[in-house]
Amino acid sequence: MARLVLQTPIPQDAWRVVGTVLGSYRENRREVEVTWEELVQVFEHWGYTARPATGATFKFKPRPGTRWPFPSESPRKEFSFHRPHGRVIPKKYYPTYRSILQRTLGWDANTFKVESEEEEIQRRLVEERMRREEEERNRREAQEKQEKGKKRGRVGRRNRH
């Protein structure tokens, strides 16, 4: 029996980029141009770092501790893309990129869909909550660090006398 896989909703701008590369997005039945910067920006927003490897190859590596916005069965693996020489990714690169994403992350043309207005609202609320939690965590860590520094300063002064 075939397993039902639900499509993961993603924002319109990410859908245009990733959907184009995966072959599931067309605008008015025409292929869309995607720039290298747009592709990198989407993956960096999703928790990857994009770093030059060798030559024109860039390695995309998931950052530790990032929350994964994709299907739970999608693995968090690193992969590499060949960066095009121009600003726009040539359409002939799409099959290679598609194959890499299929092989390493298990993505295909049916993995994602553009999010509805309701899904966008929900995502933005979650992102805002995560941002506030991160700010609070950073504030607490800075406060703890400051308190440890004060304690060390007091201990150091006592030992001098």
Same domain, 124 and 107: no
**Res. 4 pLDDT band, cuts 50 70 90:** very low
Is residue 78's pLDDT more than 70? Answer: yes
CA distance 106 to 145: 42
Same domain, 32 and 71: yes
CA distance 83 to 41: 14
Domain contains 68: yes
Tell me the one-letter amino acid at 6: L
**Res. 1 pLDDT band, cuts 50 70 90:** very low
Among 16-30, 68-82, 89-103, the range with the most confident prediction by mean pLDDT is 89-103
Is residue 158's pLDDT more than 70? Answer: no
- Structural domain boundaries enclosing 127: 117-161
Q: What's the rounded mean pLDDT across residues 17-29?
A: 78
Same domain, 17 and 46: yes
CA distance 73 to 91: 28
> Quick one: which of 6, 29, 32 has its CA closest to 18?
32
Is residue 157's pLDDT more than 70? Answer: no
Same domain, 108 and 135: no
Is residue 43's pLDDT more than 70? Answer: yes
Same domain, 68 and 19: yes
pTM above 0.75, yes or no: no
